[in-house]
Structure 1
């Protein structure tokens, strides 16, 4: 029996690399040699709680996957051995890949069951770096957050949080031709990266008044006499911090749109009476109902920019170190594990 190595959560706070059976492709399947897999904040959460019910204590990790086709089932069309592909982890028939399903992408091989072009995997150019290809899934999350805000050419936007999702939203917004995009964070290194990725301006919210600075950057559109409001059209919360929601309530002009993709771990207060006259639209954003492969063409054409989001590339033989690095606050921004 052929075997492979795969990463599992085995209990609260415990992860190990296991030797497991290597899958083989059935008539309707494709087998991938995993070449890169990003580490998501959810991986640290699953580790902390010891897995995902009903797979508590036995959860394979990894859902940000790029790989190379090594086996193609006889009934599968549109793929060939050697193709480079990115993966939609949401559609696996045995459960979400790396998020409670029976398989994960932090492994040497991954079986794509019932594969069909445009559904579970799509081909990407062979010269796209593996660590950039592995960004496809998180960049789809960022794209959905942007889509929820319904951006239009000429809009002015602000992104709170310059982590991977916030930076992905920044690149997406700039590719759509918005007039001006601002990024807000408290870490100067992240703000420098935002500028390198195309932000028109950045704000360190630990040092500056965000609303006052937005008034300077986006102009004053008073809500009523004596109530100055920035001319910002779109607010994207990729930080999940209560201060973001408080700031948006203080800043929003009439008709502004807020898209919340950051995970808020505690309830936040909304003063609906005060917001009533703004007629602000508030959209929550989770996953990528249609965006998982919509974002792929942008990832390819702007690979140099998206690639800067990756802060650390770690070989699979140090995968446990990579998980620790990604889970350590402030130690890294986006960690991608690569396999030979």
Structure 2
């Protein structure tokens, strides 16, 4: 079969590798779609991760069709459509330094247990949308870290795939009002299309002032605070942190799910005086299949997140597009 691998710093190739064969406890999946993540560009620039530097398989956002089932595996049959948990592989995280990657024609799901290493999805969900399951789990964990309740008023900064996924997660959990903040009008249009209650264009609007208009005035030691109770940073810009903390009322919560590539200054007097909670988020300890039911029920909305699809024969173009700032929102590679 063909598989995309990192062959050195800044270089990738599609190579021929042996077809996987299922053991008694394994499942083989024919990959039908695999999303490209921002971390893929980082791994490529590094030449891969140990212990597979120089020959690291890519791809950790897969969806596909089961083509072989080991004799001891239950709850799945040949022909079922599935999404896969990359962190559940015994040989290392799929496409994140492990021995296998999902940007390939087939994937061996080792020690396959339904609900832990894979989950069956309805056949009517397009594979390119199903491939969003993994990044939507990242978004859901970020949301869960902020402990939302229906009475909360939320501001999500960043309308890329994670920010949009977080917006849908907040709404699926019954949150009263979710505002999305971004600099790009087309992304804000997507936010409204998937269920945001309001949007703010940070390029030409006063974010703090608009949040006060939308969420009311907040209670704090200093005036000019917003009634927003939860802020989620899905953008990764230092200005997001300063804006959120500057607007935060007493007891507000700030979740950080975006990657910041440089240190960000923080006013701890403000955090202390207003008892603001700042919580980080990484990965999806328990959320990988928590999102699957919502994805299945609302796949038409989730489909809005996918901006570009490429066939596997065009995988190099897909990787370039995904790594070019502003060129795409979510890139998914599809397979025949």
Taking structure 2 as the reference length, the TM-score comes to 0.98
Partner of 1:147: 144
What is the aligned partner in structure 2 of residue 20 from structure 1? 17
Mapped to 1, the partners of 2:27 and 2:218 lie a distance apart of 55
CA-CA distance at 1:244 after TM superposition: 0.7
Match runs of 1:260-339 below 5 Å: 260-339=256-335
Deviation of 1:304 after TM superposition, in Å, equals: 0.7
Q: Deviations over 1:103-134 (max 9, x none)?
A: 10000000001111111101000111101110
**C-alpha distance in 1 between matches for 2:270 and 2:249:** 12
Q: Matches of 1:82 and 1:221 in 2, distance apart?
A: 54
The aligned counterpart of 1:80 is 77
Match of 1:198 in 2: 195
- Three-state SS of the structure 2 residue aligned to 1:308 is helix
C-alpha distance after superposition, 1:215-251 (max 9, x if no partner): 1111112313x51211001100001110011011211
Query: Which of 108, 113, 122 does residue 110 from structure 2 map onto?
Result: 113
Larger displacement relative to structure 2 (46-55 or 84-93): 46-55
- The secondary structure found in structure 2 opposite 1:138 is helix
Q: How does 1:35-114 map to 2 (within 5 A)?
A: 35-114=32-111
| Residues in 2 aligned to 1:67 and 1:198: alpha-carbon distance in whole angstroms | 28
Rounded Cα–Cα distance in structure 2 between residues aligned with 1:122 and 1:200: 31
Which of 121, 125, 134 matches 1:124? 121
Deviation at 1:176, TM superposition (A): 1.8
SS in 2 for 1:158: strand
The two structures, once aligned, show a CA RMSD in angstroms of: 0.9
- 8 Å contact kept, 2:271–2:277: no
Task: Give the secondary-structure state (helix, strand or coil) at the position aligned to 1:337.
Answer: strand
Displacement after TM superposition at 1:56 (Å): 1.1
CA distance in 2, matches of 1:186, 1:329: 13
Match of 2:255 in 1: 259
Give the drift of 1:205: 1.0
CA distance in 1, matches of 2:137, 2:270: 33
Give, in whole Å, the separation in 2 of the partners of 1:6 and 1:284.
34
Structure 1 residue 275, shift from structure 2 partner: 1.8
Check whether the contact 2:109–2:117 (CA below 8 A) recurs between aligned residues.
yes
Scaled by the length of structure 1, the TM-score of the pair is 0.97
Cα distance in 2 for residues equivalent to 1:46 and 1:137: 18
Aligned length: 336
Q: CA deviation at 1:89?
A: 0.2
5+ residue gaps, structure 1, are none
1:178: which partner in 2?
Answer: 175
Q: Segments of 4+ in structure 1 off by > 6 A?
A: none
Aligned to 2:212: 215
SS in 1 for 2:241: helix
Segments of structure 2 that go 5 or more residues without pairing to the other structure are none
Give 1:5's aligned residue: 2
- Structure-1 separation of matches of 2:87 and 2:219: 44
TM superposition shift of 1:173: 1.0
